[in-house]
Amino acid sequence: MMRAESIEQSLRRRFPAIEQVDEKFLVVGGAIRDLLLALSPIDVDFVGKDARGEAERFASRTGGRLVELGREPLATWRIATGRRLYDFTEQIGGSIEADLGRRDFTINAIALDRAEPRLIDPFGGAAAIDRREIAVVRDQNLTDDPLRMLRAVRFAATYGFGIESRTHEAIRNRADDISLVAPERVHGEMKTIIGSRRAAEALELMEELRLDLPLIGGAPCADVLAALRAVPEPDSLLGFSILLHSRSGEEIEAFAVRWRWSTAARRTIARAVALFQALQGSDREERDLVILLYDAGEVAARLASRMLRAFGEESRSDPIDEILERRARDVFTPTPLLGGAEIGKLTGIPVGPEIGRLKRALVEAQLRGDVHSEEEAVTLVRTLGGSS
Mean pLDDT within 131-153: 96
pLDDT level of residue 220 (50, 70, 90 thresholds):
very high
The predicted structure's pLDDT at residue 319: 94
Q: What is the pLDDT of residues 290-330, one digit of tens each?
A: 999 999 999 999 999 999 999 999 999 999 999 999 999 99
pLDDT level of residue 388 (50, 70, 90 thresholds):
very low
pLDDT level of residue 1 (50, 70, 90 thresholds):
low
Residue 378's contacts (CB-CB under 8 Å, 6 or more residues apart) are 338, 346
Q: Euclidean distance between the first and final Cα of the chain, in Å? A: 86
Nearest to 159 by CA among 124, 198, 121: 198
Nearest to 29 by CA among 87, 113, 111: 111
Q: What is the pLDDT of residues 98-126, one digit of tens each?
A: 999 999 999 999 999 999 899 999 999 99
Preceding omega of 146 cis (within 30 degrees of 0)? no
Q: What is the pLDDT of residues 3-49, one digit of tens each?
A: 889 999 999 999 999 999 999 999 998 999 999 999 999 899 999 99
The predicted structure's pLDDT at residue 370: 93
Tell how strand 65-69 and strand 118-120 pair up.
Answer: unpaired
Q: What is the pLDDT of residues 171-216, one digit of tens each?
A: 999 999 999 999 999 999 999 999 999 999 999 999 999 999 999 9
In whole numbers, what is the pLDDT of the chain averaged over residues?
93
- CA-to-CA separations, 372 to 41, 91, 203, 324, in angstroms, rounded: 57, 71, 50, 20
3-state secondary structure the chain: CCCHHHHHHHHHHHCHHHHHCCCCCEEECHHHHHHHCCCCCCEEEEEECCHHHHHHHHHHHHCCEEEEECCCCCCEEEEEECCEEEEEEECCCCCHHHHHCCCCEHHHCCEEECCCCEEECCCCHHHHHHHCEECECCHHHHHHCCHHHHHHHHHHHHHCCEECHHHHHHHHHHHHHHHHCCHHHHHHHHHHHHCCCCHHHHHHHHHHCCCHHHHHCCCCCHHHHHHHHHCCCCCHHHHHHHHCCCCCHHHHHHHHHHCCCCHHHHHHHHHHHHHHHHHCCCCCCHHHHHHHHHHHCHHHHHHHHHHHHHCCCHHHHHHHHHHHHHHHHHHHCCCCCCCHHHHHHHHCCCCCHHHHHHHHHHHHHHHHCCCCCHHHHHHHHHHHHCCC
